[in-house]
């Protein structure tokens, strides 16, 4: 397993400083923010060409929700997501991370014809059947991230994500923080092993995991080893008060993950 980190929590005033920090701390990848990335892609390419750090994935950060009730907003979101996939291909990233919708639904309940959730599922599947072939043609993946109920009403766990992945060909992002919050079992990783394409990690307080946090994190990491997951585990959490926490994480992770 390789270790990556989201760019927004990395210390440094410039992209080059952030990459140099990751390299010196023993990280192997970086997750980039998709919004505005097209405008700085040459800087990113130039910086990474002189570094051992690779682009692991790209956060989509779309202007509008894919499940907006406004057709024009959906169209813009779809085109932005396609462009993020193109950028991922140009930067040799694994793929693009997306959350279909944050917060409350925008589409009305049309029961008894369809409930809001049923409409959202049908709409998302239709949209993804258009976008996944684009990803495939570019040699990158779409990573659907289930997140907890405080952040979205729609797709909160891997089981719900699997229903979409099975129909469309997207992969699932297993965010250990969200899964713990939603009371999912580590065994869920094994159940959906063929669909897991990316992993996020943080402790229960959404902070950089410390050594004591591995008491409960280790069961998740053990399952990932058992299913031969050899992709990235990316640190996604709140910015630490001290950069040293980020610097220590790769060493702690490798020591505790690969110890018997």
In the chain, the domains with their CATH numbers are 2-257 (3.20.20.150)
**Whether pLDDT at 147 is above 70:** yes
Using pLDDT thresholds of 50, 70 and 90, give the confidence band for residue 256. confident
Please give the average per-residue pLDDT across 127-139, as a whole number.
98
Copy the structure tokens of residue 80: 């932005």
Listed in sequence order, the residues at least 6 apart from 79 whose beta carbon sits closer than 8 Å to its beta carbon are: none
Please give the average per-residue pLDDT across 122-151, as a whole number.
98
**Whether pLDDT at 114 is above 60:** yes
At residue 72, the pLDDT reads 98
**Whether pLDDT at 258 is above 80:** no
**Whether pLDDT at 249 is above 70:** yes
**3-state DSSP call for residue 35?**
coil
Q: Which tens digit of pLDDT belongs to each residue from 173-207?
A: 999 999 999 999 999 999 999 999 999 999 999 99
**Whether pLDDT at 154 is above 70:** yes
Contact 249, 2 (CB under 8 A): no
Q: Give ∠ CA 225-228-233 in degrees, rounded to 5.
A: 65
- Rounded to whole angstroms, how far apart are CA atoms 165 and 172? 7
Please give the average per-residue pLDDT across 92-98, as a whole number.
98
Q: What percent of the chain has pLDDT over 70?
A: 99
Tokens 């599922």 label which residue? 121
At residue 130, the pLDDT reads 97
Listed in sequence order, the residues at least 6 apart from 221 whose beta carbon sits closer than 8 Å to its beta carbon are: 1, 214, 233, 257
Tell me what the pLDDT averaged over the chain comes to.
Answer: 96
- Rounded to whole angstroms, how far apart are CA atoms 96 and 94? 7
Using pLDDT thresholds of 50, 70 and 90, give the confidence band for residue 259. low
pTM (two decimals): 0.95
Q: Which DSSP state fits 1?
A: -
Q: Which tens digit of pLDDT belongs to each residue from 40-82?
A: 999 999 999 999 999 999 999 999 999 999 999 999 999 999 9
Contact 127, 66 (CB under 8 A): yes
**Whether pLDDT at 260 is above 80:** no
């Amino acid at each position: 397993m390789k270790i990556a980190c989201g760019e927004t929590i990395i210390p440094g005033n410039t992209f080059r400083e952030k990459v140099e920090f990751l390299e010196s701390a023993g990280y192997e990848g970086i997750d980039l923010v998709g919004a505005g990335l097209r405008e700085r892609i040459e800087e990113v390419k130039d910086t990474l060409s002189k570094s051992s750090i690779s682009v692991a994935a790209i956060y989509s950060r779309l202007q509008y929700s894919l499940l907006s009730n406004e057709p024009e907003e959906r169209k813009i979101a779809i085109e932005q997501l396609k462009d993020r996939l193109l950028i991922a291909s140009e930067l040799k990233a694994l793929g693009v991370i997306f959350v279909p919708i944050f917060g409350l639904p925008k589409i009305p309940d049309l029961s008894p014809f369809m409930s809001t959730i049923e409409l959202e599922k049908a709409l998302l599947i239709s949209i993804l059947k258009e976008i996944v072939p684009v990803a495939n043609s570019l040699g990158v993946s779409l990573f659907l991230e289930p997140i907890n109920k405080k952040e979205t009403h729609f797709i909160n766990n891997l089981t719900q994500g699997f229903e979409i992945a099975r129909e469309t060909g997207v992969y699932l992002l297993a965010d250990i923080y969200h899964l713990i919050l939603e009371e999912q079992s580590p065994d869920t990783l094994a159940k959906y092993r063929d669909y897991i394409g990316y992993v996020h990690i943080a402790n229960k307080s959404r902070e950089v995991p410390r050594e004591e946090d591995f008491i409960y994190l280790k069961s998740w990491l053990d399952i990932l080893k058992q299913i031969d997951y050899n992709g990235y585990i990316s640190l996604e959490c709140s910015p630490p008060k001290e950069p040293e926490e980020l610097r220590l994480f790769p060493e702690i992770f490798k020591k505790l993950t690969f110890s018997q």
